[in-house]
Structure 1
Amino acid sequence: MQQWNLHRRVALTILLLMGSKPRLQIAGIMIATGFLSMWVSNTATAIMMLPIGMSVAEMLTADSTSEKDNARFMTAMLLAIAYASSIGGIATLIGTPPNVFLAGFLSKTYGIEIGFGQWMLLGALAIAQGIPPEMLAIPAAIAASCAFMMPVATPPNAIVFGTGHMKIQSMIKAGFALNIASVVIITGLCYLLIGLIWVR
């Protein structure tokens, strides 16, 4: 990617499509990263998008004289890549390894087949209370990709933290709020949708 300056070309395309406002640039990177992560593993997506995001950040901050603002924008860009990689990976069975492992486990252990289309609509868990196993297993698999607070929580987090352009406190601060939101959203959506998708 870097040998042919593809990362710079993609960065320029994102700049052209989204405009030069920092929030729009972050949104553009997140949309592109999330979409790619649906079809390529979240780890590979983070690695692919990292040079693109860093190029966008460097282009947008090249004329700025505020080191603090430049560092904040770079941190926001890196977190956007990590988090969008993880969130996008949840959307399909192939987006992140926990999804694939879950589908194999449910198929082998309980004879429950989760199709690609079913997964994209969402799934669920709960064996001990007589609830179908997918009612507990699906939220658990989704939640495994929603660890946003620490660099070691997911491969995308580790990849962007490894650049050295952010402090761990930045990831903890942004990640804590996302972790709480993830618990609420995953619980609510799984409770509402799993029964609709896997009606027995």
Structure 2
Amino acid sequence: MTSGSPRTTSGPARQEHQQENNPLFWLTGLVVGIALQLFTLLVEPPLGMNEMAWRCAGLAMMMAIFWSVEILPTAITALLPLILSPLLGLASLDKAAAPYAHPVIFLFMGGFVLGLAMERWNLHSRIALRIMMVMGTGEKRLVLGFMIATALISMWVSNTATTIMMLPIGLSVTSMIRHQGKMSRGFPIALLLSIAYGASIGGFGTLIGTPPNALLVAFLQEQYGIQIGFAHWLIIGLPASIIMLAITGVWLGYFGYRLSGEENHVVRESIKEQQKLNGSMSGAEKAVTAIFLLTALAWIIRPWVSDIIPWLELSDTTIALIATVTLFILPASFKKLEFLMSWKEMRRLPWDVLLLFGGGLSLAAMIRRTGLADWIAGSLNILGDMPPLMAIALVVTIIIFLTEVTSNTATTAAFLPPLGALAISLGMDPAILAIPAAIAASCAFMLPVATPPNAIVYGSGMLPIRHMVRSGMVLNLAGIVIITLLCHWLVEFII
């Protein structure tokens, strides 16, 4: 396929975490979730908690179980606040529905559309091949090159789609080296892990890289009036990604596995051949690249533009939507009246993720509005004398290991309200605990079920789970230290 042709796919690049097809397991989760909600309606609330907060706790527990066990598709569970909030007296339908149209949701939608445009015109593959040529073709350099390429693409394209795109390239490289008879035993494992980990680490590098980031920004803006823009997020997200990538590269290339540093000329020639097949950049690719670069630049300089022209109401969401509309206006082929993006491509947009945002924000708003967040914070007053650094470390540790078995977005949605209230009760800005929690939610490295990239590479059949657990534990511990220290030092610069 030449780069001038749109990339076709059979469906959305998404990977759902599905439990085993066990009717008893499903039925147990359904009954327990509903029973918890009914319990809060039939039993008096705990001491110090009002009735509305108690009902909200039941809704939160039921949604948490439904999300964790996947009783319903995650997007359908996210619609429960629209049904139950009015019925339980927690909020009117208007108030419950408002978070589903939060500006940050449209910001993320714009990011998704940019990613789809890159995929459609095969731009992401061109970027990946170029990075691998620059990095080199020794085993150590290939692992590092694959990880960096995956991370850079994952900053703008969903981590699931990025992993699906990079995995076949990685398997092809592994097969070539194996046929030469020069492959180190640990190379295939290290390469697959570099793809999975690169996708997760790259995700928290930018504001639109992963759902927990957007959920955090919307929560802080909606509940506390704290605005974090694209450029502000780079202050903490980019260093966190770079440091974690460096640690991961050193572990996979030097300590976890003994890899060769010798250049592989067969692989280099294969990459060159693929680049020749891609051909020179088409007009469509150049146009998408220009829109992508201008959008990223606009996101970065927006704070300074707003200072210079204070009457201009320019937000990151506005920039994303301008880019989205532009992709539908500029033609890829004027004669065929084919545009850079079409509505057919939009069918691959992960609408379920956008609904999940809305459900998480709606639930978070009710947790705070009913006083449940304050009650939880008050119950944790034993932490009152804990230094901020220790409080951040505790939060990061809990979230990192919890998100190994739960949805990172659902975990973020459930923890942000009580963490915000807890931070205030400890005399801290709510962002000081909320930001590290959101970043930690993306650091799931140990288990295949933890995140779609892990599940996708594990599904190749070439990655024993014990290797993922071993390397994942190392990165989890490194993540606890890095996220804790960076957030302790840098959060004050972005709030």
TM interval, shorter chain, is: 0.7 to 0.9
SS of structure 1 residue aligned to 2:206: coil
Partner of 2:157: 40
Residues 1:118 and 2:232 are matched in the alignment: yes
Aligned length: 193
Deviation at 1:12, TM superposition (A): 6.4
Larger radius of gyration: 2
Deviation at 1:10, TM superposition (A): 7.5
* Contact 2:136-2:145 within 8 A present in 1 as well: no
RMSD (Å) for aligned C-alpha atoms: 2.5
Deviation at 1:92, TM superposition (A): 0.7
* Contact 2:446-2:468 within 8 A present in 1 as well: yes
Residues 1:94 and 2:208 are matched in the alignment: yes
Partner AA of 1:86 in structure 2: S
Q: Which has the higher contact order (CA 8 A, sep 6+)?
A: 2
Partner AA of 2:216 in structure 1: L
1:8–1:55: structure 2 CA closer, same or farther, 3 Å change rule? farther
Partner AA of 1:52 in structure 2: I
1:170 pairs with one of 442, 463, 467? 467
Question: Within 2, Cα distance between the matches of 1:33 and 1:20?
Answer: 16
Per-residue CA shift, 1:143-166, capped at 9, x if unaligned? 011111111111111111111111
Partner of 1:17: 134
2:190 pairs with one of 52, 76, 99? 76
Question: Within 2, Cα distance between the matches of 1:11 and 1:131?
Answer: 42
Partner AA of 1:45 in structure 2: T
* Contact 1:93-1:119 within 8 A present in 2 as well: yes
Question: Within 1, Cα distance between the matches of 2:425 and 2:465?
Answer: 38
Per-residue CA shift, 1:23-60, capped at 9, x if unaligned? 00111111111111111122221111111211222222
SS of structure 2 residue aligned to 1:39: coil
Q: Which moved more, 1:184-193 or 1:155-164?
A: 155-164
Partner of 1:29: 146
* Contact 1:149-1:175 within 8 A present in 2 as well: yes
Q: Which moved more, 1:168-177 or 1:50-59?
A: 50-59
Deviation at 1:185, TM superposition (A): 0.2
Per-residue CA shift, 1:122-162, capped at 9, x if unaligned? 27973331211111111011001111111111111111111
Partner AA of 1:154 in structure 2: T
Partner of 1:155: 452
1:127–1:53: structure 2 CA closer, same or farther, 3 Å change rule? farther
1:163–1:76: structure 2 CA closer, same or farther, 3 Å change rule? same
SS of structure 2 residue aligned to 1:122: helix
Q: TM-score, normalised by structure 1?
A: 0.86
Question: Within 2, Cα distance between the matches of 1:85 and 1:155?
Answer: 10
Q: Which moved more, 1:8-17 or 1:95-104?
A: 8-17
Q: Which moved more, 1:12-21 or 1:154-163?
A: 12-21
Query: How is 1:128-147 mapped onto 2 (pairs within 5 angstroms)?
Result: 128-147=425-444
1:16–1:35: structure 2 CA closer, same or farther, 3 Å change rule? closer
* Contact 1:86-1:156 within 8 A present in 2 as well: yes
Partner AA of 2:219 in structure 1: F
Question: Within 1, Cα distance between the matches of 2:477 and 2:199?
Answer: 18
* Contact 1:11-1:52 within 8 A present in 2 as well: no
1:45–1:127: structure 2 CA closer, same or farther, 3 Å change rule? farther
Partner of 2:223: 109
2:424 pairs with one of 101, 113, 127? 127
Where does structure 2 lack aligned partners over 5 or more consecutive residues?
1-6, 10-121, 238-391, 393-419
Where does structure 1 lack aligned partners over 5 or more consecutive residues?
none
Q: TM-score, normalised by structure 2?
A: 0.36
SS of structure 2 residue aligned to 1:62: helix
SS of structure 1 residue aligned to 2:448: coil
* Contact 2:146-2:195 within 8 A present in 1 as well: yes
Question: Within 2, Cα distance between the matches of 1:137 and 1:170?
Answer: 31
1:55–1:184: structure 2 CA closer, same or farther, 3 Å change rule? same
Q: Which moved more, 1:9-18 or 1:150-159?
A: 9-18
